[in-house]
Amino acid sequence: MLIAVVPASPKTGQAAIRALLNSTQTTTPITVKGVYRDLSRVPEEFLSNPHFQASKGDVSDATSLDLTGVDAVLAITPPRYDGSDFLACARTASENTRLAIQKSGSVKRLVLLSSMGAEHESGTVGFLSDS
C-alpha cells in the first residue's frame, strides 16, 4: 500500500511518516510518499528507509501534486506562520489535494487532519465544508 503524506515537512507530517514507517501492526507492506515543497527538507532518517519516497509538490499549486499510484492520502492543513488567513490557506490546500486525488484515479482513502482552532480553549473556527 502506498500512502502519501501531504505536505510532509511540518512536524505533524514528520510524526505521521515516522509512525507509518515504524508500523508493525499491518500485514500489508506500507510505502510512504512524502510530498515536499523543498526536497532539501527531507530528513535523512526517511531518505535511508527503503519504504520511503520523497516527491516534490506544493499544496498551493494543484498542478505540482502527483498522487499517481497512491492508495491513501493523509492531508494535513499546513501551519501558517506568516499571519496569512489560515482558513483560506486550508481551503486552497484541501481543494488542490482533492484535485490531485481525482486526477490520480488510484486513491481509495483520504484522511484530512487539521489543527484549525486548536489554539482556542473551546468552540470552533469554522468548517472547510459541511458536506
Q: How far is CA 84 from the centre of its chain?
A: 20
Cα separation, 74 vs 10, in Å, equals: 13
The closest of 64, 70, 55 to 8, measured between CA atoms, is 55
Could you report the per-residue pLDDT of 47-103, keeping only the tens digit for each?
999 999 999 999 999 999 999 999 999 999 877 777 778 888 889 999 999 999 999
Query: How many whole angstroms separate alpha carbon 55 and alpha carbon 6?
Result: 10
Q: Hey, what CATH topology would domain 2-113 get?
A: Rossmann fold (3.40.50)
φ, ψ of residue 103 to 5 degrees: the values are -65, -35
Report pLDDT digits (tens) over 2-57: 999 999 999 999 999 999 999 877 788 999 999 999 999 999 999 999 999 999 99
Please state, in angstroms and rounded to a whole number, the distance separating the CA atoms of residues 8 and 73: 11
Please state the pTM of the whole predicted model: 0.85
Are 57 and 36 contacting, i.e. CB atoms less than 8 angstroms apart?
Answer: yes
